Amino acid sequence: MKKNIRDFNLNNKKVLIRCDFNVPIKDGKIVDDNRIVMSLPTIKYALGNNAKVILFSHLGRVKEEADLAKNDLAPVAARLSELLDKEVVFVPVTRGEELENAIKNMNPRDVILVQNTRYEDLDGKKESSNDPELAKYWASLGDVFINDAFGTVHRAHASNVGIASNLEEVGVGFLVEKELTELEKLDNPERPFTLILGGSKVSDKIGVIENLIKKCDYLLIGGGMAFTFLKAKGTNIGTSVLDEENLEFAKKMINEYGNKIILPGDVNAFKEFNNESSNRIVNLNELEEDEMGLDIGPETVKTFSYIISTSKTVFWNGPLGVYEFSKCTKGTEDVLKALVDSHATTILGGGDIVAAAANLGYKDKVTHASTGGGATLEYMEGKELPGISCIPEA
């Protein structure tokens, strides 16, 4: 177990907390504040323990001057202030006198939010390349460092690995702790262990498949990526999306682990890649040459649901159809329903599938909905996460 915020005496200390406030902002307004809400337990704990709380986060990408204004963290400070019901002082710079004075003037239980850490990327990618001088400087502003930004733990940046490497008292926050506790359940999963993968690209999932194919009992594949595996088996896929480059990989997996890999047998087929196109449910052996599968069909839903009902652990990444089209949400929705109706430990891994579960009101009914897209996948690939490995064990 990694050191945790509870392991430190925070009284009157300057506590640097790396949060993930990378929220969608449109016309200066926050569209979805979920990430800010999720950071509250750690921030409140620090305040409750009389700390001076200094918050860091990235927002979007900053490559050129024009990216600065649209990635300003000021709206986050305002929203956080509402949620905490107390003043959050926003410091619009990432270094210098203004920041240092603001920290000097802090009292216990005060909160400061520092400007977007990626503003430092404008000058030679200092944040993203974990510039040693920047890391030292940020670390010098505090006494304790807490990493609570799970979404970036797969990256070694100055605001996570950099600060952690320059302070003695370093730990994770409650959000990161929960992510690790839940994802670690997949290291030794209760069996049967089922992996569900969807989305369009095989390439993004190769690492996960390679790492988990031996460990899992079933691999259910839907979404666009299923067609590369179907093609590898010699099934007709019409004009469905094909990832040519990974056809050989798919063939290899089918040859070696074919008994574990369950592919769609029927699809919701469209003539064109748009929601207005005519569509029909069809078995793959009846799919016309000019039709493409944009969602799994009801027979496939039944098969997937049955396997889920017999599983003890399920991990799912990627939608099973083109979730953006209203006619193609059913497969994902129906399988999500089977998931929440099951008795399995159920873990959703990042991005689209968590958003889908949230829209349907299922997010709170799964065991865990992981917040880190790339970070979750890299964990599932068995890769080391630099933002975690730099934190000492408790």
Q: CA 61 to CA 107: how far, in whole Å? A: 32
- Beta carbon nearer to ligand AMP, 7 or 204: 204
- Beta carbon nearer to ligand AMP, 46 or 230: 230
Stretch binding ligand AMP (CB under 6 A), from 91-99, 134-142, 193-201, 231-239: 193-201
75, 142, 171, 321: residue in contact with ligand AMP (rule CB under 6 A): 321
Catalytic residue status for 351: yes
Q: Does 386 bind ligand AMP (CB under 6 A)?
A: no
Burial 135-173 (b: 16+ CB within 10 A, else e): bebbbebbbbbbbbbbbbbbbbbbbbbbbbbbbebbbbb
Q: Does 347 bind ligand AMP (CB under 6 A)?
A: no
Using DSSP, state whether 157 is helix, strand or coil. Answer: coil
Q: Does 352 bind ligand AMP (CB under 6 A)?
A: yes
Q: How far is CA 105 from the centre of its chain?
A: 36
Catalytic residue status for 35: yes
Q: CA 163 to CA 133: how far, in whole Å? A: 10
Q: CA 76 to CA 82: how far, in whole Å? A: 10
Number of residues that bind ligand AMP (CB under 6 A): 17
Q: CA 269 to CA 282: how far, in whole Å? A: 7
Q: Does 269 bind ligand AMP (CB under 6 A)?
A: no
Catalytic residue status for 28: no
**Class of residue 59 by CB neighbours under 10 A (exposed 0-12, middle 13-18, buried 19+):** buried
Q: 61-120: which residues touch ligand AMP (CB under 6 A)?
A: none
Q: CA 297 to CA 313: how far, in whole Å? A: 24
Q: CA 294 to CA 325: how far, in whole Å? A: 9
Task: Work out the number of other CB atoms within 10 angstroms of the CB of residue 18.
Answer: 30
For residue 321, give the amino acid letter.
G
Q: Out of 142, 293, 351, 372, which one is annotated catalytic?
A: 351
User: In angstroms, what is the minimal distance from the CB of 317 to ligand AMP?
Assistant: 7
Q: Out of 18, 35, 126, 205, which one is annotated catalytic?
A: 35
Stretch binding ligand AMP (CB under 6 A), from 23-31, 194-202, 256-264, 274-282: 194-202
Q: Does 335 bind ligand AMP (CB under 6 A)?
A: no
Q: 195-254: which residues touch ligand AMP (CB under 6 A)?
A: 198-201, 204, 223-224, 241
Binding mask 271-310 for ligand AMP (x = CB under 6 A): ----------------------xx----------------
Task: Work out the number of other CB atoms within 10 angstroms of the CB of residue 7.
Answer: 15
Mind telling me the catalytic residues? 35, 201, 351, 374
Residues at the contact surface with ligand AMP, assessed by CB under 6 A: 198-201, 204, 223-224, 241, 293-294, 318-319, 321-324, 352
